Every structure is written in C-alpha cells, then in structure tokens.
Amino acid sequence: MLTTPKMKLIQELIAGASREELIWLSGYLAGVVAQGTAFSPPAAAVAAIVSATTATPVLAAASEQAASTLRITIAYGTETGNSKKLAADFAARAKKKGIQAKLVGLEQYRLNDLSKEEYFLTVISTQGDGEPPAAAKKFFDHIHHGELKLDRMKYGVLALGDTAYPLFCKAGEDVDQQLQKMGGQRIVSLQKCDTDYEAEAGIWFDRVLQQLSSPTAGAAAPAATIPTGPAVAARPSGKRTYTGTILSNINLNDRGSGKQTHHLEIAAEGVDYQPGDSIGIVPENPLAVVEAIIAVTGADAARLHPHRSEEHPLSHLLRKKLNIVYLPERVVKKYAGIVKQEIPETKIGLLDLLKIYPVKDTAQFHAVVAVLEPIAPRLYSISSSPEAHPGEIHLTVARDAFEINAEIKYGLCSDGLSQRPPGETIEFYVHHNSQFRLPVPDADIIMIGPGTGIAPFRSFLAQRDSQGAQGKNWLFFGDRRFTTDFLYQTELQDWAKTGVLTRINTAFSRDQQEKVYVQHKMQKQSADLFRWLESGAHVYVCGAKEPMSVDVENTLLSIIQREGNKNAAQAESYLEELKETGRYTKDVY
C-alpha cells in the first residue's frame, strides 16, 4: 500500500493527466516493475510526469482531441489493381482502429498537399523496366524533380513487384528514398513484396498500426519509434511455381494469313486462378546461341557460377536463367567497363557484343556473366475459365515477328511457345489481376479486344456461360482478315446462337480498301453503347496499349460527349467515375 503523501501525489497526477498520458504512464510503470530492481527514472521521464501534473485542462483536452482525430493518407499507384485493393483494405482496417484514413490514387493525388502531410502511406507497384505505374508517373516525377521539404511527414512505403524481374520493386525503392531525402521520417521500413504479397503486406500494416496506436502518435512522434536509417527489407522467398503439361498447340490463323496465333491448352491441376488473371512464363534462350557464346569465349560450360544464392553450370545459366538476347543499356555499360572499351549505349545481344567487342580472356567473360540480369518473365492473359475448363489453363499467343537490319527476328517467348509440342512440360506462375474481374452475374459487360486481346474475354464468356449469368455480353473484336484471322470464330458464333453473347461487332481492317478498326465499329454503335453505359454496364479493354487502347479511350470519350450531350470536361469526368467505380478497366501491353 502507498503512504498517504504518495497516494495524494498519484491522485494529483491522474487528475491532471490526459488519456494518452495515462496510457503512457501505465506502460512506463509496467516497465519499471518488469525490471525487478530499484529504478531511478531518467530526468526526461521525471519532467514528463511533472509536466503532466501541471497541465491545464485545455492542453489535456487538446491532446486528447489530437489522439482521437489521427489522420493518415493512403495513396496507391497501380497497374493491375493489386495496390489499390491492398490500400483499400488498409484504409478499412485503419478506420476500425479509429484512425481517419483518406484513400486516394496517385493519379488523383493533389501534389501540393504532399508538404502538408503528417502521416503518408503509399502502396506502389513496379512495371516493365523498374518503372512506376502510368497512373503514378506524375507523382513519381514530382518527388524526383520538385523542390520539396517534408520535415513534418512520417511515411511508409509498401512496394509490390515480381522477383523474376531484374529491377524488383525499383519504383517503391525510389519513392522510399526520395521521401527520406526530402526530410520525411519512416514510420516503418520499406517492405518489398513478390506476387504472393498478401501475408507480408498484412504484417507490414500491422506494424504501421502498432506505431500509429502508440500514445504519442497523435502528436509529434518520438525519434525512438521512427527508424531513420536505411530501409531494411528481407527479399521474399519467391512465388509459387507450377508445372503443367501441354495438351495441344494449334495455330488459330488459317492458311494465307500473315500472322501466327497459337492456342495452347495446358494440363494444370490445382492451379488457383480467376478470369482476368495471367500467367508468367520465363522463356529459355536458344541452344544454338548459348553454344556459340561458349565457343567464342572458350569458357568451360560445366563451370559453376553463383546465381541467387545457388550455383549452376555456365551452360544452364546461359540457357535458362540469364538474359543474353537483348541486353539493356545499363548492362552494356557494365560490359564496357569490364572490357575497357567505348561502346555505344544500345540494346544488343550478348553474342553480337562478344564478337564486336571481345573479352580478352575467360576471366573477363566470367566477370561479364556476373553482371548479366535474369530473364524477365512474359505475361499472357489466361483464355480459359476455371468453371468451363477445370484442371486446365489455355493461352492465346501471337508469335511476335519483327525486322532488325533486314533480318526477321522472333520474340523469345512467343517463338518458343509456338513450337512447343504436346507432351512437353512448362513452368509458370499465376499473376493475379484484382482489377480486371467479372462483375456480379446480372451486370452487363462490354468487351473490346482485337487480336490476342480476345484472350480474357473468351475466359469471361466461358465463365458466364458455365455459371448461367444473366447479364448481357457485348463483344467488339477485330483483326486483319475475316477468312484467315477470326480467332475463336466457331466458339463465338455458338455463344451468339445460344444467347451467351448478346451482341458482337467485328472489324477486319484489311478486308476493304480503307482500314476499319474496333473504334470505328464503336462509333457506329454509339447510341446503344451509351445506353448500356447509362444502364450500368462495365467496360473492359484488352490488347495493345498503343495505339489501340488510346484510340478506344478517345472514342469512348467522344461517344459520351456526343450521346450524353456533355462538353469535353464533363465527358472526362464521366469516364473518370467509371474508372473509380471499377466499371472501366484495361489490361493492355
């Protein structure tokens, strides 16, 4: 029991303390008891207690109000919708904790607000060659080129990426470093997540909430609770990889076509995917190129080389692990440093590089191998439905052909897939796209997918057919010629006959003198198309990013403006609302 003077002191302390000060004091005393020995509080702690006993009711009330109105901004930069979904989940969890969370896409974020932020979390993915999503580009450029001071900001960055790519989570790393460089303090360290991100992302946000729930979170956070050193984040262990067997490989284009589009069916039991998802495949390098590289350098094909905490024979690395076909400029620059020669910064194959700027010995070549980057995976939209094609995954792959110096070249992965015979096995992983999803069964959908953009819509239609969905389905499909390039013609016609496909409009660009594309067919159906939009239809676009998806979006805007009797700004706002509500989504490449 306390003596009367001590009890009086405690009562005075409690009477003058705010709620968060009492919580702090409770934890402080618990720590003293846990030490089990006589303990002399540091001067700072004594000062805090004295300050608490002399605090006026106004100051205590203000402090309590600050704690109860903690505000954070959660901004996301996304390409496939995964970052948006995580950010929305985070915002919901924060609100349950009594924290006011503002959720915003980086494409809509007011850049002038950045210097005013006190608590700022961002979830951002990395695209292509270490780049931010297109929607986050303006924000990304602003923090790299703007003159900003973020001394009052406490922040956290969750980076999504794919460990199969050389510049894993590079966009997130850049944002984290820039915010710190401008004076921001980390609430928690940068967290980098692979394609299987849910568990690690949840743990990261638990740590954020723990920091925000500390007694002093509503005021200036003490330095001890905010790491200010370099971000530390363990590299994820990897994604789940599946092995499937090729059941069939058929060229969908007829004789006389200038294209090859292959339909592959892969036996893949137990693979969890949804319509709208893709699979990632890491292609192999041509054996002839690997053998030529080993011959021209005189290297030992069996020599073991380290690669991602493992060791592999040189021939295996060059065939299955390392990019040797088109080296990015940053690798060419490293090569130039090793061989000590002036080399123009350009994309070039390793074999050509070795022939033009040879290494002087095998030691130099082994140094070159050490700077080569992993083969980047290629993503292909799944064209099957888990309901209609159980235990299988179907792909629609165009064999990519292009010309370099008057010589026809083929895409590394698409060329390899087009030649894979039935019976061969193939490794892949699932790339989930939480944004490109079917709506509720009774909602109407408009699908715009020329060429291989038809792939996810074959999945959509098969899924809706299997489930007996009542929503109407309208497809715009286009290619070069009706007789040779009408992909999945029989299936689409059957779905039209049975009513699964409510409407179909096709555009075959080379069947007449003037080229006709899907956007031209959209214009001809503008009145009906706008009526579908007004009735709540969802719009999906899949295929080439440029120029197709740009032309389609501009056409949508003109239809909305004309049929909706709106000006340009109103049409933009209308389309933006479709995007925000998930009724207009794209999967473009």
pLDDT for res 3: 52
pLDDT at 390 over 80: yes
For 187, phi and psi rounded to 5 degrees?
A: -70, -45
pTM: 0.75
pLDDT at 327: 92
3-state DSSP call for residue 494? Answer: helix
For residues 18 and 90, membership in a common domain is answered with: no
How large is the average pLDDT for residues 312-326? 95
Containing 380, the helix (H) or strand (E) segment is strand 378-381
Average pLDDT over residues 413-439: 94
In the predicted structure, residue 223 carries a pLDDT above the cut 50: no
In this prediction, residues 484-493 reach a mean pLDDT of 97
Q: Is the pLDDT of residue 501 over 90?
A: yes
Looking at every residue in the chain, the average pLDDT score rounds to 86
Q: CA 500 from chain center: how many Å? A: 32
Same domain, 143 and 270: no
Mean pLDDT of all residues in 466-479:
97
419 contacts 250 by C-beta, under 8 angstroms? no
Q: Give, rounded to a whole angstrom, the gap between the first and last alpha carbons of the chain.
A: 73
Q: Which of 47, 65, 83 is the last residue of a domain?
A: 65
Specify if 233 maps to a domain.
no
> 73 and 209: one domain?
yes
Residue 6 in this model has a pLDDT that exceeds 90: no
- Distance of alpha carbon 532 from alpha carbon 444, whole angstroms: 8
Answer yes or no: do 256 and 395 share one domain. yes
Please tell me the predicted confidence (pLDDT) of residue 49.
Answer: 38
Residue 317's pLDDT band (cuts 50, 70, 90): very high
> For residue 236, is it within any domain?
no
Residue 438 maps to a domain: no
The answer to whether 433 and 80 have CB atoms below 8 angstroms apart is: yes
pLDDT confidence of 225, banded at 50, 70, 90? very low
pLDDT of residue 215 exceeding 60, the answer is: no
Query: What pLDDT is recorded for position 69?
Result: 61
Q: What is the full DSSP assignment across 293-309?
A: HHHHHT--TT-EEEETT
> Residue 526's domain is classified under what CATH number?
3.40.50.80
pLDDT of residue 25: 57
Single-letter amino acid, residue 126: T
Per-residue CA distances from 521 to 480, 507, 548, 555, 563 (Å) = 14, 7, 13, 10, 15
Structure tokens at 359: 């290494």
Residue 57's SS3 state is helix
Could you tell me the residue range of the domain that residue 319 belongs to? 287-369
Same domain (yes/no): 150, 260: no
Mean pLDDT of 249-264: 96
Are 343 and 381 contained in the same domain?
no
Q: How many domains is the chain built from?
A: 5
Residue 549 DSSP code: I
162 belongs to a structural domain: yes
What is the DSSP-derived secondary structure letter of residue 317? I
Note whether residue 500 is domain-resident: yes
Tell me what percent of the chain is helix, strand and coil, each rounded to the nearest 5.
40, 20, 35
Query: What is the pLDDT, as a whole number, of residue 402?
Result: 83
The residue among 319, 341, 369 that closes a domain is 369
Residue 196 structure tokens: 């299987």
Residues 291 and 276 in one domain: no
pLDDT digits (tens, 9 = 90+) for 163-193: 888 889 999 999 999 999 999 999 999 999 9
pLDDT digits (tens, 9 = 90+) for 45-60: 433 433 333 333 433 3
> Element (H or E) spanning 172, and its range?
helix 170-181
Domain with 350 in it: what CATH number? 1.20.990
* Whole-angstrom distance, CA of residue 564 vs CA of residue 562: 6
User: Which of 576, 118, 170, 106 has its CA nearest to residue 373?
Assistant: 170
Tell me what pLDDT residue 536 has: 97
Coil vs helix vs strand at 113: helix
Q: Are residues 54 and 73 in the same domain?
A: no
Q: Rounded to an integer, what is the distance from CA 169 to the centroid of its chain?
A: 9
237 in a structural domain: no
CA nearest to 105, candidates 128, 85, 127, 131: 85
The CATH number for 118's domain is: 3.40.50.360
What pLDDT band is residue 456 in, cutting at 50, 70 and 90?
very high
Indicate if the pLDDT at residue 500 is higher than 50. Answer: yes
From CA 213, how far away is CA 373, in angstroms rounded? 42
Do 275 and 417 fall into the same domain? yes
Burial (Cβ within 10 Å: 0-12, 13-18, ≥19) of residue 152? middle
Lowest mean pLDDT across 204-213, 461-470, 536-545 = 204-213
Cis link prior to 5 (omega < 30° from 0)? no
Of 381 and 163, which is predicted with more confidence?
A: 381
The enclosing domain of 277 has a CATH number of 2.40.30.10
- 520 and 582 in a single domain? The answer is yes
Is it the case that residue 198 has pLDDT exceeding 90? Answer: no
Together in a domain, 102 and 130: yes
Quick one: how far is CA 42 from the chain centroid?
Answer: 48
Q: Please, which pLDDT band fits residue 470 given cuts at 50, 70 and 90?
A: very high
Q: What angle do CA 491, 494, 498 make, to 5 degrees?
A: 140
pLDDT at 39: 39
Residue 583 lies in a domain: yes
Q: What is the pLDDT of residue 165?
A: 84
Q: Is the pLDDT of residue 296 over 50?
A: yes
CA atoms in the 13 A half-sphere facing the CB of 141: 6
Residue 30, pLDDT > 50, answer no
Please name which of 35, 34, 54, 37 lies closest in space to residue 46, comparing C-alpha atoms.
Answer: 54
Residues 452 and 548 in one domain: yes
* Contact partners, residue 494, CB within 8 Å, separation at least 6: none
Confidence of residue 212 (pLDDT cuts 50, 70, 90): confident
Residue 232 lies in a domain: no
Q: What percentage of the chain exceeds 70 in pLDDT? A: 84
